[in-house]
Structures are given as C-alpha cells and as structure tokens.
Structure 1
Amino acid sequence: MQIVLNLFYDHTHDMDMIRKFLQLFAIITLYIPTYAQKRSTWNEAYNRYKNGNMVSKITSRYSVIVRGGLTQFYGELQKQDMRGMLGLGVNRKFNNPLSLSLEYTTGKLGGEEISFFNSYFINEYNSVELLAMWDLTGQFIPSYDGELNVNIYGGLGLMMFSANAYDITSNTLLRFTNSPSSARNPLFLRWGNPHGSPGIKKTNERIIPVGLCVDYKLFEKLIFGFDYRFYFVRTDKVDATSGMRLINPEEADSYSKTPNDKFSFLSLSATYKFSRYPKRGKR
C-alpha cells in the first residue's frame, strides 16, 4: 500500500512539475512575440531616426546671409585701390523665383589719379539696402533641384559715408565731404538751406544696387555664393572730388556736369536657411 501511495505521490508531483513547465513554456511563448514586436518597434523607431524619417523639420522661408569681399570705385579718382567690405542680411522667400532681402553693408572705397589731381581718396561707408531677388534657375527650370542657382537682383538703399582726398606726395588733406559746418540738405534736394545741427559726420545719399549672384548648395540649409554688385550713387563726391575741379565738394559744389559716381563689390557669401517643425493639425 505504501508503495502505491509513493507511486501516486510521485506521479502527482511529476504532473505538477509538468504543469508548471507547461505554464512557464506558455508564458515564454506568449512573451517572445510581444518582446519581438516591441523590439521591432524600437528598431523601426531607431531606423527612422537614423535615416531622418522621423517627424522632421521643414525649411523656413527665412535665411540669414553673411558676406565679405573687395570694392571697386568708378569716378574721378578711379585708378584702383581695392578695399574690403562686410555685409549681413536677412532674406525672405515668397515663392520659387522671388525673394526679398534687407542688408547692411560696411566697408571702404579707395582710388587715385595722378595726372591731374595728384591725389588719392579713402571713403568709409555704411549702407542699408532693400533688394528684390529673382532666381533665374527656378523661374525657367521649375523642376530643377541641383546645387547651382543663378540669381539677379536690384533695389534701393541709403549710403552713409565720409570721404577724404589727400595729396599723393605729402599726404596732406586736400578735400573732404564732412566738416564741423556740414549739415543735412533739404529732403530729396541736392542742395539748399541746410537743416538740423551742423557737424554731421556722415553724408547720406540714395543708391540703386543691382547685381548677379551664383549660389552653390553645399547642404540643404547651407549655401555658398559668388556675388557681383554694382551701385549707382546719387552724388558726385564719393571720392571727395566733384568733376575735374580741385575745389572742396560742398553744397552746390558737391555736383558737377560729370556723371555721378559709381562703385561695386565682388564678394563671397554664406547663406543659412532656418528650419522649423511642421504645425500640428487641430484635434
């Protein structure tokens, strides 16, 4: 009898072990697909992150531009003495070919003429310009998505400058645009009864900039450019010289029968496009 009881006990114990094993097997069997699914989800999420397919930023219409280059002057003292310039701007794209830029530029102009004037000049200037830019590549090749783009642009601006002309032999100051008695001309007039306090340090003149820019897209948000810009200035004294005369360019003598002065710059630029997350729809 005892043997039978022992056999029954052993059988019951074995059944309990088998039942527990089956339960453990069932748990593992159910857990593995769940774990595998979670792992697959994690891997997919990681791969989306790695491949940039997660909820990604979109390129903004706004960008910032920095530039640096060399200037060139066209006027009475136009034998070249190329000087440097720096610029900073903000651009807003409206559609594929059209964008607007607001730019600030600071730099120097220089030049000389020995045969008649025996003098050279240095002009320190700042300018603020509003430019409309037309992307020729985007206009005429709508499906183009390459690295190179050609742009033309034009606009209006204000140039604030101070120029001095010196004798080449002795470096003596000969002519200048600003002095303790300098004052502002009436608005939109070349000369007339001055207004405001005398002693202004900068002459203000309107400018018309036009230019050509070739851009190269290094990355989606970083673009390098090669820019040539030409300026028409509404004055003849950017070089502290007005016409073929040796007088100081002040008041009515600031202008002559010769064409107004012009200048240009050749620059390298870097444009950074801002980005943002897309707006979420309302729930």
Structure 2
Amino acid sequence: MKKKNLYVALLCSTLLSFNTFAQNRTYDGPNKMNTWSITGYGGITKFFGDIKEYDFKRGSNEKLTGGWGLSINKQLSPLFGIQITGFNGQLQGSKKGHMSVLSGDSYDVFFNSPSFVQATVDGTLNVNRLLFGFKKLRRWKVDAHLGAGIIYYHTDLTATNTNPSSEYFGITYPISTNTSASSKTAGKWERNGSTYTREWVIPTGLAVHYELTPRFDIGVDFTYNYVNTEKMDATVGDYTDYQSQQGLWTFAAGESKKDGWGMASIALTYKLGKNAVMSKDGKYDASKGRYHLRWANPMDLIPVPYNPTMNDADSIAKANMPKPVDPRLYTDSDGDGVADLFDKEANTPAGSVVSGGGVAMDLDKIIRDAIKNNLPKDECEALFSNIEFDTDKAIIRNASKETLSKVVELLNMRTNCRIVLVGHTDARASDSYNVSLSRRRVDAAKRFLVRAGLTDPSRIIAEYYGEYRPIAENTSVEGLQSNRRVEIKILPNNTIRSTYPAGFRR
C-alpha cells in the first residue's frame, strides 16, 4: 500500500506541476516559435507479471510481440512539454511447473493478450537541458515522461496439467478473463465479439531524440506501464486453481504484485509549424524562420547587445568624425572683419573699409558715386571695417571718428542698409569685466553714430563678446591692440544674421 500511495502522490504532483506550467509558463516570447509535433512509435512489447518466466527473453511458448503508438506533443517551454499518447499492441507470457496449492497439480501456463489499446496523458521533462544547459548536446534531447490513462485489454489463458500422477494429466484448460461475468467490476468494452476490460495505467519512461532536420527527429523510447490490476495475465499468482478457476470470475484480488508491460520502440517525430528552421552551429537568427521550442531556447533568439571595446568605440568615433573645419574660417589676420577663408585681399591696412570679399574699398568714392549716379536708396552692399581702442578705454579715437562719420553719411543715403556693431577686448582682465568693457565700447560707437546725424538709430544692432573672439594672439602688443576693437558691418536689411550665444548680444 505504501508503494501504491507513492505512485499516486508522484502522479498527482506531476499533473499539478504541468497544469501550472500550462497556465502560467507556456512560451509567449517576442519571436514566433513552433511548439507542436507528432511522434510515431514502433517496437517490441514485454509483459511483466505472474505468467512470465524471464524478464528480457521469451519463454517456451512465447512469440515476439510488438506494438505501435502515436502521440500529439505540445512543448510548453524549453524544459517542459505535454503529450497525448495512444498505443495498440500484443502481449504474451508463459511459465512452466506452475503449482496449484489447492490441487497439488502442476501446469504449463500460457497467456495471450492479442490486441490491447491504451490512451494516456503524459508530461515530459527535458533532462539534459535541465542538467547541462543549452550549450551542450544541442542536437540531443533526453525526455523523462510520466502520465496517467486507461488501458483496454482482452486476455486468453491456457493451462495444461503436466503432473503424470494427476487424473487431469494432459488436460488443457482454456480461460478467458473477459467474459461478461468477469468484467462486472472492472468495466468493459465490446469489440469483435470480445469483452475488453478497462483499467487505470500509469506510464513512465525515458526517450532519447536526435534532431535530424528542421522537420524530423529520430529517437528511441522505453516506457514501463504500471497497470492497476494483477489479472492482466488472468492469474493472481500461486493461489490460482486453474481446474476450478477459483477467483477468476469475480476479479478477486490476490496477493501477487500488480501487472505491467513495457515497450522499447523507435520514435520518429514530425515537427509542425510554419517556416521551420534549425540551428546547425549553435547560432540563431529569428529572421530566417521559426525554430522549434523542443530544441531552441527563446533567449538564444534575442541578439546579444553590442558592447564595444575602447578600441571599437575609438574606431567608430573616428569613422563618424566630421572633416576638420578649415582654421581660416576662425581667423582674420588683417583685422578687416572678413575671415581669412573668404578674404580675397590679405593684409589690408588697419581701419580699412572692405567689401564682403575682404577687398579694400574707398568709402569716399562709394559716397561720391552714389551721389553722382543717384543710385536707388534700397540698394546696399556688404562693407566691413574695424575701429580700435586704447587699453581699458571705451573712447573713440580721432582716426576712427572720420570712418564713423562716413558710415553715417552712407547709411543716410542707403536706407535699406543696417549696421552691426560688435565689441571685443583683449584677455587682460576677468571674463565678466571684459564683457562689460566690450559693451561700453559698442555703446560709445553707437552714441557717436547717433550724434553724427544717423537718421534712423533703430538700424543699429549691437553685440559684445568680451575676450571670447580674438583675431590675434594675446601675447604681443600688436595682438592685444588688434583684439581691442569694435567691428563695423554694413549689411542689407534682408541679410540673415548670425546666431550668437545668449547673453552676448544686445
């Protein structure tokens, strides 16, 4: 009874475990995977019970028996699965010198179960994945399985008296366990004129599979089936009186162990699903198709995030680095307000008024030509010039006053022009002080323009940057002087202004 209770507890635990996985742990990952398959079995059957002389070879009257089966399999996760399995096969057994305690006679006993049918629900556990992980034995699958179901069987038994001193010597007694009388307590099923007895069965076994192709697996399977009866062979052990058939008709329990049968078979599995693919080198690419959950770990289908090394990161940075900017874009060697990259006339004299291309212009000639030719007031060309200041001063020099006066005259003639004043300093003070000083220099130039007669002061735009935009090195007297400046830019009103950092324009 203890062993029986152990089987029942193990079965209930297994079914509960698989029910939990079916409800909560079935695969539902980001990549589509195939999970269904069909397996066919064919092999040799063997009975284990009272009427059996040898465990793994035939008795004197036995023939080799076999069976076939079919299962529908559902893989719930890489480790767990469930299957519905059906078997049909034949069983035989024999034993010599079987003694009847009641009569003292001996018998040669032979039984035959010509066609039994069994259906079970089994849970499977992928043992090698559980023990060795997913990196080893990639194309091998070792499944332990356990389940429960029912079996229908029909048994015919013959017992021949072999005791020469017996009055029944040589008489053969045919017995069928599955008459209408003997099947009352076990349940029955009528087939081909015979009554089939129904019993509970618990299958357990081990299957080894090998992945051949994306569609087919081949393997071997051994299953032992524990049947909940001791009369599958029509006997209850040494306490049977074959002459009187005592105990057979009522299916009364005897003292022998419960019967069982085993099957060693070759299994061929066809994997269902769309776009079936398999991994041959341990690498997976979900874009190529669907792998089967019997063989693939869903985590292997997710690409490993790329973590570049320092060398990789350096190579990527160099490959994506923009081309170096021409340094001439940031330098103005002659201080005329035009960057060297665009300056077509280098080394123009300090204080020169130049065109947008850096070419020195005669401001007086421009004004005379404008008066002489009576040019339209809405025409304007870009002109650039600088005025310089003494150290820590915001006072307009006399030489610069003449330039600013001509600028006023030109602006009053060309109403579609605007003027941009940009203040700068050298580096010999704090940042905040230099920004303030550059602002005072711009304000001084602006006041001079207004007092000199500029008719529309709103056309003046003031900006100041302190020491942040030098045009020369702050290491020489000449460089310091060049940086103490206010840039004068005369531009058409429709010219798009440059964008400067906030806090440095006014």
Q: Deviations over 1:217-262 (max 9, x none)?
A: 1112211111111111111111122221122653544420111111
Q: Which amino acid aligns with 2:198?
A: N
Tell me what 2:261 maps to: 263
Determine which structure has the larger strand proportion and give its number: 1
Letter of the 1:75 counterpart: G
8 Å contact from structure 2 (residues 43, 68) kept in 1 = yes
Retained in 2: the 8 A contact 1:58–1:275?
no
Output one character per residue of 1:95-139: Cα deviation in whole Å (capped at 9) or x when no partner. 001000101100011110011131211112100011001001222
- How far is 1:184 from its partner? 3.7
Contact (CA 8 Å) 1:242, 1:253: kept in 2 or not?
A: no
Distance 1:147-1:173 versus aligned 2 partners, 3 A rule: farther
Structure-1 residue corresponding to 2:205: 211
Which residue of 2 is the match for residue 176 of structure 1?
Answer: 176
Is contact 1:183–1:200 with CA below 8 Å preserved after alignment?
no
Gaps of 5+ in 1: 1-56
- Residues 1:78 and 2:52 are matched in the alignment: yes
Which of the residues 131, 134, 137 maps onto 1:140? 131
User: Hey, what does 1:27 align to over in structure 2?
Assistant: none
After TM superposition, the runs of 4+ consecutive aligned structure 1 residues lying more than 6 A away are 194-197
Q: Is residue 114 from structure 1 mapped to residue 105 from structure 2 by the alignment?
A: no
Alignment partners' CA distance in 2, 1:239 and 1:103: 23
Q: Is the 8 A contact 1:237 1:254 kept in 2?
A: no
The answer for unaligned runs of 5 or more in structure 2 is: 1-30, 99-106, 162-169, 276-288, 291-506
2:182–2:250 contact (8 Å) kept in structure 1: no
Q: TM-score, normalised by structure 1?
A: 0.68
Equivalent in the alignment of 1:225: 219
Distance 1:129 1:113 in 2: 30
Deviation at 1:158? 0.3
Q: Which moved more, 1:219-228 or 1:104-113?
A: 219-228
- Whichever residue aligns with residue 131 of structure 1, its letter is D
Q: CA deviation at 1:183?
A: 4.1
1:172 shift after superposition? 4.7
Q: 1:229 touches 1:265 (CA, 8 Å); kept in 2? A: yes
Residue 243 of structure 1 aligns to which amino acid in structure 2?
A: G
Residue of structure 1 in register with 2:237 after alignment = 243
Pick one of 41, 45, 53 that aligns with 1:67. 41
**Using a 3 Å threshold, how does the CA distance of structure 1 residues 215 and 181 change in structure 2: closer, same or farther?**
same
Q: How many matched pairs? A: 215
TM, length-normalised to structure 2: 0.39
Q: 1:180 to 1:195 in 2, by over 3 A?
A: closer
Which residue does 1:14 correspond to in 2? none
Alpha carbons 1:184, 1:196 under 8 Å: kept: no
Q: Give the 5 Å matches for 1:127-166.
A: 127-144=118-135, 146-166=138-158
Q: Which has the higher contact order (CA 8 A, sep 6+)?
A: 1
Distance of aligned partners of 1:94 and 1:240 in 2 relative to their CA distance in 1, 3 Å threshold: same
- 1:140, CA displacement in angstroms? 2.5
CA contact (8 A) 1:236 1:254 kept: no
Quote the residue 1:18 is aligned against: none
Evaluate the alpha carbon distance shift between residue 249 and residue 220 of structure 1 in structure 2; reply closer, same or farther with a 3 A threshold.
farther
Residue 196 of structure 1, CA deviation: 11
* SS of equivalent residue, structure 2 residue 152: strand
Is the 2:223–2:262 Cα contact (8 Å) retained in structure 1? yes
Amino acid at match of 1:77: I
Q: What is the CA deviation profile of residues 175-213 of structure 1, one whole-angstrom value per residue up to 9, with x for unaligned ones?
A: 22112444442xxxx6xxx8999x871000001110011
Alignment RMSD, CA only? 2.8
Matched residue, 2:79: 97
The percentage of counterpart residues that share the same residue type is 21
The answer as to whether partners of 1:162 and 1:178 remain within 8 angstroms in 2 is yes
- 2:236 aligned partner, one-letter code: S
How far apart are the structure 1 equivalents of 2:72 and 2:171?
Answer: 40
Q: Shift of the alpha carbon at 1:141?
A: 3.0
Partner Cα distance (1:218, 1:171) in 2:
56
Cα 1:150/1:77, change in 2 over 3 Å:
same
SS of 2:130's equivalent? helix
